[in-house]
Structure 1
Amino acid sequence: MIPLTFSSEDWTTSSYSTFQDGDESFEYVENFHELPLDEKIEKSTAILVTETSKGEDGKYVNRVVEVLKKADGVDMYYQEGDLYDDHPPYEENDEFVPGGYIVFMGGNPASMRYSVSYSGDRIRSLGGISLALLREKCDT
């Protein structure tokens, strides 16, 4: 559930909302980005790896190249080979183009909660962990 609080000088009211009508089987995690990596993996209903490549028009696109995790009973609308367009396209003259993204998803259906870019085999914003070690952590 997602807590919602509205207030003014004269009144305060709170309510709760779920990811999807009636589906409370996967908890909402507030401040997901602040969790340690192992908890991000545990609390995610799906985790994707995308790869950035240049399209025919000179713009870079992201495609799903691997599904590291998908919880049982979770609907996910991406599979390997699909275009993942939740990130802005990079132009040919951009100075930094990431190798791709790690996308942590939550809820049901799974939707993006947090993502980080990677370059080469390292994910710098996750402490420099390698993609290989992240795969291992997702398998356990």
Structure 2
Amino acid sequence: MRVVVQSAPFDLGAEAEAFGRAPGIGAVVTFSGVVRDLGDGLAAMEIEHYPGMSEAALEEIARAAVERWSLADVLVIHRFGKLVPGERIMMVATASAHRKAAFEAAEFLMDYLKSRAPFWKKEYRADGSEWVAAKGDDEDALTRW
């Protein structure tokens, strides 16, 4: 299990290639989130966090996923700082003996990251900036777990 919170970009291909190499693994699921360019003038998104607190929270939820789905491995990378549209924000990877567990665990981790992970996002546009409010759909998605 590896949890990383960093400001620097990461190489999605290299991370995916290095992940899930242990014996007995039959399924690897990866997901990467990017700053969306919706054509609405978004210039940048700034992601803030409390060092130590964020890593501990992500490690706790990753351990919960390992236990619940008997995962062989988990990777969570989440960036902070100012990011522009098209840049990768995060990556989740899960590895298990079977695909169902890997897919479900990846969805569980993503739902947690979208609704409960201790990160705060601020969007910057030409006309100003604003903090991103929590979305009801993200919170609803977490309730299924």
Q: Same fold (TM over 0.5)?
A: no
TM-score by length of 2: 0.30
Structure with higher Rg: it is 1
Which structure is higher in helix share? 2
